[in-house]
Amino acid sequence: MAILVQKFGGTSVADAEKILAAARRAIRAKNQGYQVVMVVSAMGHTTDELIALAKQITEHPPARELDMLMATGEQVSVALMAMAINSLGHDAISLAGAQLGIVTDSTFTKARIRSIDAERIRQLLNQGKIVIAAGFQGVDPAFNITTLGRGGSDTTAVALAAALQAEFCEIYTDVDGVYTTDPRIVPEARQLKRISYDEMLELASAGAAVMHNRSIEFAKRFGVPVHVRSSFSDRPGTLITSEPESVARPVCGAALARNEARVTVLGVPDRPGMVYAIFSKVAARNVAMDMIVQNMAADGRADVSFTVPRDELAHALRAAEEAARELGAEGTSYEDDVAKVSIVGLGMANQPGVAQKMFSAVAEKGINIEMISTSQIKISIVVERQYGVEALRAVHQAFALHEEVPEGELPPAGKPRPILTPEILERLRGMEDLVIEDIRLDETQSRVTLVDIPDRPGLAAKLFGQVARAGVNVDMIVQSVGREGRASITFTVPRGDLERCLQVARDFAREVGGAPPIGSWNVAKLMVAGTGMRSHSDVARRSFKALAEKGINVDMISTSEVCLNIVVDGARGQEAYQALEQEFADVRL
Ligand code: ASP
Ligand code: MG
């Protein structure tokens, strides 16, 4: 019999009436012939209230005890849900994390799932029971109760669906599904019929909070189709699988992260290990760096800029100052009033001109782009915070994201292929371990660097417009603001197009008043792709470390949720590739 996992979030079980409504949904699924596992969050704002209560006792509650406390929220709702099902004449059993056999590591308040005992749940299902599982919690090998991090019930649900090889995992929530962007900011935003795992991961990290990111990673690893839908209606929501909504469109969604900050380490001597030194300092303070951009400098020094969530600015700045001192850099600077706008789409990888279209849309509004970073399926820009919403709207409009995708463009929704087979899982410590799916060396690209160009709205749009008109396909782009209102842009193009592209860049530099461009024919682009790259932010640190140890200098970087790109000197490409393969041998598929 097919198994269905249905997850109900806090708002969907906020009171007795809603609990009964959720119970009816599960019964309906059972009557349709499914074996049903319900995963339930704590009622309403219970978890927040429990944390507030702990804070009344002490400012720093021990993490173990906080988990013990928080886990009670879900215990209340599963018991009530089982009673509700019972009262409606069906058989149900509620189970806490430990009873479900959800074994985690011992990282209290953000534990990772190691394994699940699916047999026990199967037996209960085979007895005709609806199994009501407490979300968000597990137990470590020493029987301590753990929780999976805020919003972790999504992860419980997808993990159970994976362990039970469920046909679907339904996520019932207070929105209708996943939208092209936040409809509260852009009213014409459209609900997507479908979105791929990778796109969902990128959008979520770019600012669209729909589901717990780890749950999407879980779904991708184990090939679980996820259906995000409203608990207050019967309309279909958004299906998350390995397929995108449209095979023809380059972009599926856009997102805004309003509260970002930019930190720059100024005038760093450009030598191997420099990026690693900065990155490891920031990582040591548990700050997640996002866009990382290196400004090439003519005098052997570089500026390294990165963005962080604004509330982590103080930590990031301290780490940057430390790194600056150690590296003999000239100093640091920061800006705490920036926003990040991103576009995401599987289709952009094989369509030229997507970046330029985004830059043009923003330029037409007269908004200045302070930073740019592109990766295979995401392009992010940084603008002044006050222009964030306007830039998001302009971009949404430019890609006509509000327009429905015609039926014909929908790829067939086959069953997604799991990345982790039981044999691979055997090698790993746990279901949520990092896996590196691919490491690649691309020796087809060359690099163009423009330094000391004026920092004005519209320049990136103009430059890449001219490059596109010359018939050159740009691959990776990074830009950041330098000192005194000067910017630098570095990008890669196919080697055969370098001369033509340099000609365009020379004309551009002359026209706008910048230094002549620098071209490098022989660069190597390395790509590390995997699942869990962000939640295991160690991937970037380990990559930079591996290269630093070989004395290989890093010229360009772009990071994303599913992929890390690094450009190095072409002469060191093979060696860099070997170093990365060696570094990740233990987690390589
Ligand atoms: N109750 C937990 C929280 O509020 C878990 C969840 O809702 O997913 O974070
Ligand atoms: Mg919640």
Residues 214-267: pLDDT tens digits?
A: 999 999 999 999 999 999 899 999 999 999 999 889 999 999 999 999 999 999
Say if CB 54 and CB 21 are below 8 A apart: no
Protein residues with C-beta less than 5 angstroms from the ion ligand 2: 10, 41
Question: If we measure between CA atoms, which residue out of 386, 385, 358 comes closest to residue 372?
Answer: 358
| Residue having the nearest C-alpha atom to atom 8 of ligand 1 | 151
The secondary structure of 56-124 as a DSSP string is HH-SS--HHHHHHHHHHHHHHHHHHHHHHHHHTT--EEEE-TTTTTEEE-S-TTS--EEEE-HHHHHHH
Helix (H) or strand (E) holding 154: helix 153-163
Distance CA 137, CA 211 (A): 17
**Which of 136, 145, 215 to probe ligand 1 with, by most ligand atoms within 8 A of CB?**
136
Q: How confident is the model at residue 420 (pLDDT cuts 50, 70, 90)?
A: confident
* Average pLDDT value for residue range 569-581: 97
Give the atom of ligand 1 at the shortest distance from the alpha carbon of 136. 5
589 pLDDT tier (thresholds 50, 70, 90) = confident
pTM above 0.75, yes or no: yes
Q: Which residues contact 109 (CB under 8 A, 6 or more apart)?
A: 63, 66, 67, 70, 147, 149
Task: Among the bound ligands, name the one nearest to the CA of residue 153.
Answer: 1
Ligand 1 within 6 A of 155 CB?
Answer: no
Instruction: Say yes or no: CB of residue 517 within 6 Å of ligand 1.
Output: no
Q: Which ligand has the minimum distance to the alpha carbon of residue 157?
A: 1
What the block records as the tokens of 369 is: 């782009």
| CA 281 to centroid of ligand 2, rounded, Å | 32
Helix (H) or strand (E) holding 39: strand 35-40
Round to the nearest angstrom and report the end-to-end CA distance of the chain: 32
Distance from residue 41's CA to the centre of ligand 2 (Å): 6
Quick one: which ligand is closest to 134's CA?
1
Ligand minimally distant from the alpha carbon of residue 51: 1
Q: How far apart are CA 304 and CA 268, in angstroms?
A: 8
135: Cβ below 6 Å to ligand 1? Answer: yes
CA of 109 to the centre of ligand 2 (A): 14
Residue nearest to ligand 1 atom 9, measured at CA: 150
Asked whether 151 lines ligand 1 (CB < 6 A), one says yes
| Ligand 1 contact, 152 CB (< 6 A) | yes
Closest Cα to residue 286, out of 311, 321, 257?
Answer: 311
Q: Which residues neighbour 218 within 8 Å (Cβ) at sequence distance 6 or greater? A: 155, 158, 159, 162, 224, 431, 432
CB 97 near ligand 1, within 6 Å: no
**Is 485's pLDDT higher than 90?**
no
pLDDT per position as a tens digit, 82-136: 999 999 999 999 999 999 999 999 999 999 999 999 999 999 999 999 999 999 9
Do residues 40 and 73 touch, judged by C-beta distance below 8 A?
Answer: no
228 CB-near residues (< 8 Å, 6+ apart): 171, 173, 175, 177, 178, 210, 211, 237, 238, 240
